Amino acid sequence: MKFTNLGLSTLHKVFRGKLVGPVLSLLIVIVTTQIMWQFYIFSVEWHFFKNHYLAYQFTNQEKNNSLTCPIPLPDPFDAAVMTYAEKLNPLSCRQVQPYLTYVDSNGTLMINNTAVKENRLDLSHLQCSFQTFQRKEKDDDKLSYDNEQPLYSHADLPKGKEFVNVTCIYEGNIIYRGYHTYIIRKAPAKHTTGKHLKPNVFIFVIESLSRLNAIRHMPKTYSYLTRTLRSQVLKGLNKVADNSFPNMIPFLTGRRVYTDPPELPGDQSIGPFDDWPFVWKNFSNAGYITALHEDSPEFTLLNYLSKGCLNQPTDFYLRPLWLALQGSPLWKESSQWCFGNVPKLKLLLDWILEFCKKHKKIPYFLFSFFIEVTHNDFNNAQLLDDDVSQFLEMLNRSGLFKNTIVILMGDHGNRYGNVLETEVGRIEERMPFFSIHLPLTLKKQYPHLQKYLKMNSERLTTWIDIHSLLMDVATETYFESELQHVWNTRGYSPWRMLIPNNRTCEEAGIPKQFCICQQFYTVSVDDPISKQVADAFVIELNSMLEPVSVLCAKLWLNRIIQAQVIIPDEHVAQKKGYIHAVKILIEVGPSRALLEAILQRDAWSSEYCTVGDISRLNKYKGQSECVADKKLRKFCYCFSSIVS
Ligand SMILES: *[C@@H]1O[C@H](CO)[C@@H](O)[C@H](O)[C@H]1NC(C)=O
Ligand SMILES: *[C@@H]1O[C@H](CO)[C@@H](O)[C@H](O)[C@H]1NC(C)=O
Ligand SMILES: *[C@@H]1O[C@H](CO)[C@@H](O)[C@H](O)[C@H]1NC(C)=O
Ligand SMILES: *[C@@H]1O[C@H](CO)[C@@H](O)[C@H](O)[C@H]1NC(C)=O
Ligand SMILES: *[C@@H]1O[C@H](CO)[C@@H](O)[C@H](O)[C@H]1NC(C)=O
Ligand SMILES: *[C@@H]1O[C@H](CO)[C@@H](O)[C@H](O)[C@H]1NC(C)=O
Ligand SMILES: *[C@@H]1O[C@H](CO)[C@@H](O)[C@H](O)[C@H]1NC(C)=O
């Protein structure tokens, strides 16, 4: 109250003219300082960019690349990106209603007596009713509801019904709205021959998740995948287009959208897409049950500003339920990222879990995509980490991953926000997360699958390659192969062949503006830059040896062997946040160790610092046994070894 009055009276004075003079001059001072400050920032960054990027662009030096596409592997915790990282509180949903009903595993709609008791409701005054509903024929956006029926303690859902909504009235007020799905057992379209059970394909996509952001903001999930499930991560995966649709269509069909001539039939943007060769059709033909589960019905892959499919595309299709949720008054009453009492993510995960449990005896292909939370802000991935990691753990613990290929991935990187003002941000925008876990049966029978995934993990790969991998599963094609395109015109199956390390973006079908390939420019070892970087490298080595300086000798620079400036692709390189990186190979004394590392700085840092690992290129046996640390062993030169 007091403060408002104070504010008002100040305003009043300003407007009465008494303070106009001083306020105006203060304003002018602020604005001028601001402009000068901006100009200063601009000129520092511009000079840095000119000297460290344009200078190399304009030299006519032959490219000296042993690799056509060196993959950038930036630090996920790069300081410039971390200035935009924020710690968020875990998601918690406002409890908007009691948990009054549920559908049990036999398809019976039940009143939850625990909730009735807990909320001190008198059952005789509780009036509940339910309606089953489904997708309307030939329309992806409409629902058809069956007759409303009363619900006393329990009711069996009519045969074949998958979706139901419930309303409960108590003392004249609506106190509850419930939405449930029942996963019925469906027979696959084709029965398979052969005794062994084909592996399930479990795909979970998180909107806009890059590999770096998975490490940075979903550490529990990342660690569970890579440590426990031993998933292989493809670090050189480059998106093939800007947003979700033109990236996931190549993933699902092996073909690109919006090309001239078109690679896909019919209308490329509004659909309907019934005729497209989605990989789930091949799985269906191979005796699989198929499922497509996405949230946010307005933004799903095939429906965003388009018609989707006229006929239901997969055996299990969650869209009708999400349409019902979105149409419910509860949608608006719920807190952010929640529906009713629970996070929307949790709803999706619960349905996926139930789906997996129901299909232990029939192979399934599941494509699920969680859109909502991570679309606009890369920090929001934190809100998913607990639920996703616990979900994976639970599926693994329940034995549901025993015969399952588990793919957890993004569709592209984060496309919005200040983080794109950093070079690492621009790189990771183009580099979605991709991880794949192979079941033991597959690993044992075809050991080369895991071997090739590992060998290809730092090579240029695309969603079109992953389409080839999926087609391999659908057709049970697992043999090791010479390099060749399979199933589509551009893809290499990344688990059956070695992808060449000189593959170019053009060959892989990646448009120039999304290409992450770097170039190396060799600079003379006598160049001042080489000397500066080499000196910084030695200083950093010695500072790392500081804690063990009683054991290891101080190092000095013997000679610079090679220095290469790393030039990012022209679409990644921008004045704002430009990083100057140099790969350098030096020999140090007294050990004569050959050490290689990448050092970098930006316009605002005073010195070059190493990023990533330091490599030792010659033997160090007999030199560094006095320290146990793996990292230090590469370059510590023990006093004891000098004596002996
Ligand atoms: C290219 O690099 C190799 C070593 O990788 C070096 O021997 C050679 O001199 C370089 N050529 C040019 C033109 O810089
Ligand atoms: C489902 O039905 C089976 C067989 O009729 C029965 O054994 C089981 O207890 C039922 N489950 C539930 C949750 O009612
Ligand atoms: C039943 O209600 C209790 C108490 O509100 C709740 O903890 C529980 O999750 C509910 N059960 C189901 C299956 O919804
Ligand atoms: C189910 O949802 C429809 C559409 O929102 C609504 O008209 C109907 O009243 C609901 N029925 C029940 C029993 O909640
Ligand atoms: C995959 O399915 C598409 C669409 O049904 C079909 O055109 C194609 O021939 C199938 N490919 C294989 C190898 O079965
Ligand atoms: C999860 O899966 C891995 C590999 O399949 C297995 O070794 C491990 O025991 C499982 N973990 C749990 C907790 O079940
Ligand atoms: C890549 O390397 C292979 C074999 O070394 C060679 O045949 C091919 O021409 C190279 N491609 C490019 C684009 O350099």
609-616/556-567 β-pairing = unpaired
Ligand 5 mutation pick, 190, 279, 282, max ligand atoms within 8 A of CB: 282
Beta strands of 415-517 (E only): which ranges? 434-437
Distance from residue 399's CA to the centre of ligand 6 (Å)? 8
Predicted pLDDT at 50: 87
In whole angstroms, what is the distance from residue 470 CA to residue 201 CA?
A: 8
- First and final CA of the chain: distance in angstroms? 81
Q: Domains, the chain, ranges and CATH? A: 200-514 (3.40.720.10), 518-643 (3.10.450.10)
In whole angstroms, what is the distance from residue 497 CA to residue 508 CA?
A: 15
Q: Measured on CA atoms in the order 622, 628, 634, 635, is the torsion positive or negative?
A: negative
Q: How many helices (H) and strands (E) does the chain have?
A: 21, 22
Ligand 6 mutation pick, 200, 228, 401, 444, max ligand atoms within 8 A of CB: 228
Predicted pLDDT at 193: 65
Distance from residue 431's CA to the centre of ligand 1 (Å)? 29
In whole angstroms, what is the distance from residue 242 CA to residue 267 CA?
A: 19
Q: What's phi and psi for 109, nearest 5 deg?
A: -80, 125
Q: What's the average model confidence in pLDDT over 15-27?
A: 79
Which atom in ligand 2 lies closest to the alpha carbon of residue 104? 13
In whole angstroms, what is the distance from residue 197 CA to residue 23 CA?
A: 78
Classify 163 as helix, strand or coil: strand
Looking up tokens 């620079």 gives 557
Closest CA to 557 of 529, 532, 538: 538
Q: Is 115 in the pocket of ligand 3 (CB under 6 A)?
A: yes
In whole angstroms, what is the distance from residue 362 CA to residue 376 CA?
A: 38
| pTM of the entire predicted model | 0.84
296: left (phi over 0), alpha (psi -120 to 50) or beta: left
The answer to whether 423 and 80 are in contact (CB under 8 A) is yes
What would the two tokens of residue 79 be? Answer: 């300081």
Q: Is 149 in the pocket of ligand 4 (CB under 6 A)?
A: no
**DSSP letter, residue 554:** P
- Binding pocket residue ranges, ligand 5, CB within 6 Å: 277, 281-282, 475
User: Rounded to 5, what percent of the chain is helix, strand, coil?
Assistant: 35, 20, 45
The per-residue pLDDT for range 391-436, each reduced to its tens digit, is 999 999 999 999 999 999 999 999 888 888 888 998 999 999 999 9
The per-residue pLDDT for range 309-366, each reduced to its tens digit, is 999 999 999 999 999 999 999 999 999 999 999 999 999 999 999 999 999 889 999 9
Distance from residue 620's CA to the centre of ligand 1 (Å)? 26
Closest CA to 469 of 434, 430, 510: 434
Give the confidence band of 238 by pLDDT, cuts at 50, 70, 90.
very high
Distance from residue 251's CA to the centre of ligand 7 (Å)? 26
Classify 612 as helix, strand or coil: strand
Ligand 3 mutation pick, 96, 99, 180, 347, max ligand atoms within 8 A of CB: 99
Q: Whose CA is nearest to atom 7 of ligand 5?
A: 277
Distance from residue 236's CA to the centre of ligand 7 (Å)? 18
Q: Measured on CA atoms in the order 142, 148, 154, 157, is the torsion positive or negative?
A: negative
Give the confidence band of 12 by pLDDT, cuts at 50, 70, 90.
low
Classify 182 as helix, strand or coil: coil
Which atom in ligand 2 lies closest to the alpha carbon of residue 106? 1
Ligand 7 mutation pick, 502, 504, 507, 519, max ligand atoms within 8 A of CB: 502
* 3 state SS for 189-211: CCCCCCCCCCCEEEEEEECCCEH
Distance from residue 164's CA to the centre of ligand 4 (Å)? 9
Which atom in ligand 4 lies closest to the alpha carbon of residue 328? 5
- Binding pocket residue ranges, ligand 2, CB within 6 Å: 104-106
Ligand 1 mutation pick, 63, 67, 522, max ligand atoms within 8 A of CB: 522
What's the mean pLDDT when you consider all of the chain? 91
Predicted pLDDT at 416: 86
What would the two tokens of residue 271 be? Answer: 């659909």
Give the confidence band of 1 by pLDDT, cuts at 50, 70, 90.
very low
- Ranges 229-238, 264-273, 402-411, 549-558: which has the least confidence: 264-273
In whole angstroms, what is the distance from residue 93 CA to residue 222 CA?
A: 25
In whole angstroms, what is the distance from residue 386 CA to residue 91 CA?
A: 10
The per-residue pLDDT for range 196-212, each reduced to its tens digit, is 789 999 999 999 999 99
Distance from residue 113's CA to the centre of ligand 3 (Å)? 8
The per-residue pLDDT for range 38-67, each reduced to its tens digit, is 999 999 999 999 888 888 765 545 555 555
Q: List all residues 6 or more positions away from 339 whose beta carbon is below 8 Å from its beta carbon.
A: 325, 330, 331, 347
The answer to whether 429 and 411 are in contact (CB under 8 A) is no
Q: Is 167 in the pocket of ligand 4 (CB under 6 A)?
A: yes
Closest CA to 338 of 351, 357, 325: 325
Q: Is 114 in the pocket of ligand 3 (CB under 6 A)?
A: yes
Closest ligand to 403 CA?
Answer: 6
Q: What's the average model confidence in pLDDT over 599-605?
A: 91
The answer to whether 85 and 216 are in contact (CB under 8 A) is yes
Which atom in ligand 4 lies closest to the alpha carbon of residue 148? 13
Q: Whose CA is nearest to atom 3 of ligand 5?
A: 277
Beta strands of 57-148 (E only): which ranges? 101-103, 108-111, 126-135, 143-145
Q: Whose CA is nearest to atom 5 of ligand 2?
A: 106
Q: Whose CA is nearest to atom 9 of ligand 3?
A: 99
Predicted pLDDT at 412: 95
Residue 15: Cβ-neighbour burial (10 angstroms; 0-12, 13-18, 19+): exposed
Element (H, E) at 35: helix 20-49
Give the confidence band of 6 by pLDDT, cuts at 50, 70, 90.
low
In whole angstroms, what is the distance from residue 256 CA to residue 419 CA?
A: 28
218, 457, 459, 521, 522 from 567: Cα distances, Å: 30, 22, 18, 7, 11
